[in-house]
Amino acid sequence: MKRQQDLGIASSSSSMEDGEGEGEAVQPPVEGFESHARLAEEGRKITVDTLKGYLRSALPSLPEEAVEAVVTSLTEDKLLAHVSFHIGTVDLILSEVRGIVSISGFCKLPVK
């Protein structure tokens, strides 16, 4: 928690959880870090395509308007932030990288 406060995110995550914080200005990126906007957009596209594919497969008689409405609802920033908060994304992002070991054995990085 102290590390989160040092980085200035503890208050924003708790206010986000309380439903506050909407419309707050996004802090400028830290110097030396690259923007991940392209990756975020690619992730959004994959998520939308996956949801649409699943809904069309699982509910073939569902009208396209309903598919779009469900996908739009499930990909709203507020809902995604709520889910992200509860699965511990902040802790994961702030955790120290100790090493990655793939189950398949293809990706192995040394443990520090």
Closest to 87 in 3D by CA, of 7, 13, 20: 13
Q: What is the pLDDT of residues 43-96, one digit of tens each?
A: 999 999 999 999 999 999 999 999 999 999 999 999 999 999 999 998 888 887
83 neighbors 107 (Cβ within 8 angstroms): no
CA distance 66 to 90: 33
| In the chain, % of residues over pLDDT 90 | 45
Tokens of 53: 């594919």
Q: d(Cα 4, Cα 10) in Å, to the nearest integer?
A: 5
Query: How far, CA to CA in Å, does 87 sit from each of 23, 80, 81, 84, 110?
Result: 23, 11, 10, 5, 26
Tell me the pLDDT tens digit for each residue of 8-46: 554 444 444 455 444 455 566 666 667 788 999 999 999
Amino acid 36: pLDDT: 84
d(CA 19, CA 13): 10
pTM above 0.85, yes or no: no
**Can you give the length of the chain in residues?**
112
Going from N- to C-terminal start, the domains of the chain cover: 1-17+36-112
Residue 46 is given by DSSP the state H
DSSP state of 21: -
Per-residue pLDDT at 5:
53
